[in-house]
Structure 1
Amino acid sequence: MTSASEAWPALEFEELRWQSRYAESGPRAARRDVVSERYEAALPPTIAQRSLRPSAEVAALADEASTALARFDDSLGNEVAPFAALLLRSEAAASSQIEHLTASARQIFTAELGGEGKRNASEIVSNTRAMRTAIELSDELTTATVLSMHEVLMEHDRRHEAGRFREEPVRIGTSGRTPVGAEYVVPSWERVPALVDDTMTFARRTDLPRLAQVAVTHAQFETIHPFTDGNGRTGRALLQAMLRSNELTQNVTVPVSAGLLTDTAGYVDALTAYRRGEVDPIIRLVSEASFEAVGNARELVEEISAIRAAWRTAVTARSDSGVWRALEVVARQPVLNASTLAAEMGVDPKNVYPHLERLVEAGVLAKKNEYRHGVVYRNDEILRALDAFAARAGRRS
């Protein structure tokens, strides 16, 4: 019996011509000749008006995952502020880790202070900004939104054009010189703007099962591969924007990418299955990743809550002291300097030094003079909790 999920259209292909002055083999003299070869590029179906009917089993799983996301988001109540910032950064770090960009929590937060930092940490900071942009623009799921996310993500990468669709063929599984023989050649660049417009029309619909819609939009976006680089991170930022737009999350960024990290091979397989016309695998995987994300994030929230409670025992001050406001900043920014703290508190930098010194004396902050950043303060407990979160995300449950 044919399942409803199999009605989704499979990827088609079109034959294109590749011309190059460099052959892949042969004597050097021949490499100066123009070589013309044929190859097949992906031709994704349009999806803007298509029905989306996953199998009953997967639809039920997606509904349960949607409920889990919404309940976790709602459970934070009045404690959203510190957790929103930490979970957003954790999602950006996990999304980057899928692309083999890893850095410790300390390196990432130090890179946020500005100046030169480790390359991976700096790229993860850019991904955090792209995630934040995605959330801010979640009410505007348009092609312009996608370009804005990519522009923020890639603004410091001189090798690629930030916020612009590619104007060249991109392929997977072959030499950088030619798409001929590639494992997968993404759609012709001329088709990209219309395909992304079509995908974002699908993303804005209000008549579809919400988490299934999020998963399929993400898979279609990755199939189109609209940029020369940053497609995966931009696509996962779009996923977060859709979770917010669909009101599955309203307060925090639930780190679904951290859930996907538990099975990156399955993630690739699900995207490949989508291109064959199967929607169940990607919907199932995003649903399972949502459960993983909620469990991992809940553990992080409990750890951070315990750390913050211990601070209130270690620090003694009047109830109206600014040191309590400073502690709230430390909870969401565990590596900072006087300028960062002053900006977050809205006061003059000279007024935060007494708070910083009090927190150093209480053992909440460690103080260090760093070469590129001057005097930096950090809380190692929060940083360890974030690194433990990342380690859990990378383990198969």
Structure 2
Amino acid sequence: MKIEHFKPGRWRQRLQYRSFEPAPVNHDWHWDDPQINVLLEAANRALGELNAFSLIVPDIDLFIEMHVVKEAQTSSRIEGTQTGIDEAVLPEEQIKPEKRDDWREVRNYIDAVNYAIAELRTLPLSNRLLRQTHAILLRGARGQHKQPGEFRSSQNWIGGSSLADAAFIPPHHEGLADYMGELEAFWHNPAIAVPHLIRIAISHYQFETIHPFLDGNGRIGRLLVPLYLVSHGVLAKPSLYLSDFFERNRGSYYDALTRVRVSGDLVHWVRFFLKGVAETASKGRDTFGKILALRNDVEQRILSLGKRAPNARATLNLLYRRPVVSAADLAQQLGVSAPTAQALLKDLIRLGVLIEITGQMRGRLYEFEAYLDLFVS
């Protein structure tokens, strides 16, 4: 099917509303629009440059963890949470009680991402994996009573306060198994010649249109992108997350999805998606470059510590995963005494690596500010 000729589906009359029943996507796709070819080439080039860091940088997993934190914070912010990335890396006891619900949603997303990526080592991308990831996403959070880990068994809607004034009503729940089964088949169909970035662009649109869960569809749908790319070997590590691009272009993001459903304008959506991949991959590549420059700078500074340098280097490896630490955490993680941990923190403060962020209060916390700042912008 030509992307330009896409018919997105049909409206089906229910008792008191009409639900949108999407057209299948598990078939070959081609297009005439030359701009898609140009954008696809740029996106693949940027993605390859980003992936190169995963292949050549030692200990790349140290830095991937903060990319996951950034994604969790940004994807959750699209859904209305107010947790900053500086708060997302703090322990729960340091979060104000009135902000802990938002904090838990972000931390659940981090756990969900890490779980899903780990499962991909032994399982293919599947609806089962998405459901299991969804269960973790809603665990103990505001959506915990909305069928966590299960496709919905009732009608949902987008926008408005009820079905009567909804902006969009996804397909009826009776057809969810077929719709999601067809989408899963599309992810793995070897009989069709569709580039991976086109396949996942169409898949993200289809997932969000099906809206298979009662809650968490946006977050799971955005997470589907890196899961697909890692599952198919396009990325060696989960280093591409589009939530930042979607959040900064939120109006355009929702408009592009709506245009497909209303008028079948899949070309506009695919262009928007490919631009997002190219921009996000380039930004991720630049961030990795800045991380390596910072790492080299800090490594040079700690050489002055002589015999204490190995422990300082081990401390840095902890900070790359979680850039806020307490003396007690450091002592436990490194297996050193409390006085040794305190001495390490003092050394790193003196070298300008750490700052104390709790105002000399009990249970002081120390932040790797220059590193955290790379993920704030």
TM-score, normalised by the number of residues in structure 2: 0.85
Give the equivalent residue in structure 2 for 1:35: none
**1:237, distance to aligned residue in structure 2 (A):** 0.7
**1:340, distance to aligned residue in structure 2 (A):** 4.4
Counterpart Cα distance in 2 of 1:353 and 1:131: 33
Counterpart Cα distance in 1 of 2:24 and 2:337: 54
Structure 2 residue 126 is matched with structure 1 residue 123: no
Structure 2 residue 152 is matched with structure 1 residue 166: yes
- The number of residues matched between the two structures is 362
Give the equivalent residue in structure 2 for 1:233: 219
Q: Is the 8 A contact 2:112 2:133 kept in 1?
A: yes
Q: Is the 8 A contact 1:339 1:349 kept in 2?
A: no
Structure 1 pair 202–112 and aligned structure 2 pair: CA distance change class (3 A): farther
* Match runs of 1:249-268 below 5 Å: 249-268=235-254
Structure 2 residue 278 is matched with structure 1 residue 291: yes
- CA deviation string 1:234-289 (max 9, x = no partner): 01111110111232211341232222233222211221233243332222112101
Where do 5+ consecutive residues of structure 1 fail to align?
18-37, 389-397
Give the equivalent residue in structure 1 for 2:301: 314
Give the equivalent residue in structure 2 for 1:185: 169
* Match runs of 1:72-221 below 5 Å: 72-76=50-54, 77-79=56-58, 80-111=60-91, 118-138=100-120, 139-157=123-141, 158-176=144-162, 179-206=163-190, 207-221=193-207
Structure 1 pair 10–373 and aligned structure 2 pair: CA distance change class (3 A): farther
Give the equivalent residue in structure 1 for 2:3: 5
**1:214, distance to aligned residue in structure 2 (A):** 0.7
Q: Is the 8 A contact 1:338 1:349 kept in 2?
A: no
Structure 1 pair 218–44 and aligned structure 2 pair: CA distance change class (3 A): same
Where 1:174 maps in the other structure, the secondary structure is coil
Structure 1 pair 313–371 and aligned structure 2 pair: CA distance change class (3 A): closer
Structure 1 pair 341–195 and aligned structure 2 pair: CA distance change class (3 A): farther
Give the equivalent residue in structure 2 for 1:364: 353
Q: Is the 8 A contact 1:130 1:234 kept in 2?
A: no
Where 1:185 maps in the other structure, the secondary structure is coil
Give the equivalent residue in structure 2 for 1:52: 29
Q: Given the alignment, which residue of 13, 16, 21 partners 1:15? A: 13
Counterpart Cα distance in 2 of 1:210 and 1:378: 39
Counterpart Cα distance in 2 of 1:123 and 1:54: 40
Q: Is the 8 A contact 2:132 2:149 kept in 1?
A: yes
Q: Is the 8 A contact 1:211 1:283 kept in 2?
A: no
Where 1:317 maps in the other structure, the secondary structure is helix
CA-atom RMSD, angstroms? 2.8
Counterpart Cα distance in 1 of 2:31 and 2:74: 27
Structure 2 residue 62 is matched with structure 1 residue 62: no
Q: Given the alignment, which residue of 289, 297, 319 partners 1:302? A: 289
Where do 5+ consecutive residues of structure 2 fail to align?
none
Q: Is the 8 A contact 1:304 1:382 kept in 2?
A: yes
Structure 1 pair 78–156 and aligned structure 2 pair: CA distance change class (3 A): same
Does 76-85 or 238-247 show the bigger shift? 76-85
**1:81, distance to aligned residue in structure 2 (A):** 2.9
**1:338, distance to aligned residue in structure 2 (A):** 4.3
Instruction: Point out 4+ residue stretches in structure 1 off by more than 6 angstroms.
Output: 112-115, 370-373
Q: Is the 8 A contact 1:111 1:122 kept in 2?
A: no
Counterpart Cα distance in 2 of 1:280 and 1:372: 56
Counterpart Cα distance in 2 of 1:221 and 1:5: 17
Q: Given the alignment, which residue of 368, 371, 375 partners 1:382? A: 371
Give the equivalent residue in structure 2 for 1:335: 324
Q: Percent identity?
A: 23
- CA deviation string 1:179-223 (max 9, x = no partner): 134321111122222211221111122442110001111111000
Counterpart Cα distance in 2 of 1:229 and 1:372: 39
Does 376-385 or 146-155 show the bigger shift? 376-385
Counterpart Cα distance in 2 of 1:299 and 1:214: 24
Give the equivalent residue in structure 2 for 1:273: 259
Structure 1 pair 164–137 and aligned structure 2 pair: CA distance change class (3 A): same
